[in-house]
């Protein structure tokens, strides 16, 4: 693999980095010349990816456990000496549920991962990022801005990630730390494939997922990775922004008056 220089010498932590969008982000940063720490609970996939990519290491971590996050950061600093970028990608999209089918317990568990996991790593990483005048990239979702049917808890958590990004950008600007987020639309990932398989007609679901974008296809994890490298390396005058990587899915009108199950926009 040819290694570039766009982010050479920098150290990046990517949560949920073992597969899907996270793996695409890991690959993009390695290709830019960075040293990348893959953080994930999926040890087999994480270790396999680290072995494949020179410049990547795997550290198992559950971002909902603050003590594990503290260990992740201490091991990163011990190994590399500094930290330049954190990508908060770890998250989950539950199967479609109408509001009456959801539960407070399930909502709390999703909040722990999608929102508080981002909060945990960000808070503990800030002292290191302030030293390096580094940056934070949160992976939110298009549906946090436009909504999604049968996904009240998920949409709420992602909307909160976007809002937290803006608040953090204001607080951290005095230290030179930039905070931005990426909101993907339909990205073809293992999670999207699993969600489609859980519907009555997976092939139709995938086709609808493709046609939700004016560009007529789903995005690829590598395209989200390219956006992340841009925000970290070149977008030096951007903080508090939400970058849509959606193929234009938020544009135009569409049929919405239906109670039929539809995964809509289900990013990983």
Residues facing residue 58 across a β-bridge: 38
Among 106, 130, 116, which residue's Cα sits nearest to residue 164? 116
Kindly state the helix (H) or strand (E) to which residue 183 belongs, with its residue range: strand 178-184
User: Are 21 and 89 spatial neighbours (Cβ–Cβ below 8 Å)?
Assistant: yes
Which residues are CB-contacts of 175 (< 8 A; sequence separation ≥ 6)?
129, 130, 133
- Given the residues 7, 154, 175, 253, select the one marked as catalytic: 154
User: Are 134 and 76 spatial neighbours (Cβ–Cβ below 8 Å)?
Assistant: no
CA distance 216 to 193: 17
Q: Give the three-class secondary structure for 247.
A: coil
User: Are 158 and 141 spatial neighbours (Cβ–Cβ below 8 Å)?
Assistant: yes
Which residues are CB-contacts of 172 (< 8 A; sequence separation ≥ 6)?
126, 129, 130, 136, 178, 179, 239
The CA-atom distances, in angstroms, between 255 and each of 105, 195, 263, 264 are 32, 21, 14, 11
CA distance 224 to 188: 11
Q: Is 154 a catalytic residue?
A: yes
Q: Which residues are catalytic?
A: 154
């Amino acid at each position: 693999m040819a290694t570039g220089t766009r982010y050479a010498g920098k150290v990046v932590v990517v949560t949920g980095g073992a597969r899907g969008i996270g793996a695409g982000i890991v690959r993009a940063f390695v290709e830019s010349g960075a040293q990348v720490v893959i953080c994930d609970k999926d040890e087999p996939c994480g270790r396999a990816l680290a072995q494949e990519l020179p410049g990547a290491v795997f550290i198992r971590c559950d971002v909902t456990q603050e003590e594990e996050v503290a260990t992740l950061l201490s091991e990163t600093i011990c190994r590399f000496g500094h930290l330049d970028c954190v990508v908060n990608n770890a998250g989950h999209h539950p199967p479609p549920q109408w509001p009456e089918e959801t539960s407070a317990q399930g909502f709390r568990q999703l909040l722990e991962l999608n929102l508080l996991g981002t909060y945990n790593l960000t808070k503990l990483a800030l002292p290191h990022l302030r030293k390096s005048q580094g940056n934070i990239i949160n992976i939110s979702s298009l549906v946090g801005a436009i909504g999604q049917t049968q996904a009240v808890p998920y949409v709420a958590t992602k909307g909160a990630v976007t809002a937290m990004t803006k608040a953090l950008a204001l607080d951290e600007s005095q230290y030179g730390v930039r905070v931005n987020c990426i909101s993907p639309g339909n990205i073809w990932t293992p999670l999207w494939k699993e969600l489609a398989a859980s519907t009555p007609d997976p092939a139709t679901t995938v086709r609808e997922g493709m046609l939700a974008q004016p560009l007529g296809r789903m995005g690829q994890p590598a395209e989200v990775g390219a956006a992340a490298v841009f925000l970290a390396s070149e977008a030096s005058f951007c903080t508090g922004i939400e970058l849509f990587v959606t193929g234009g899915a938020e544009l135009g009108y569409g049929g919405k008056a239906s109670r039929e199950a539809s995964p809509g926009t289900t990013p990983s």
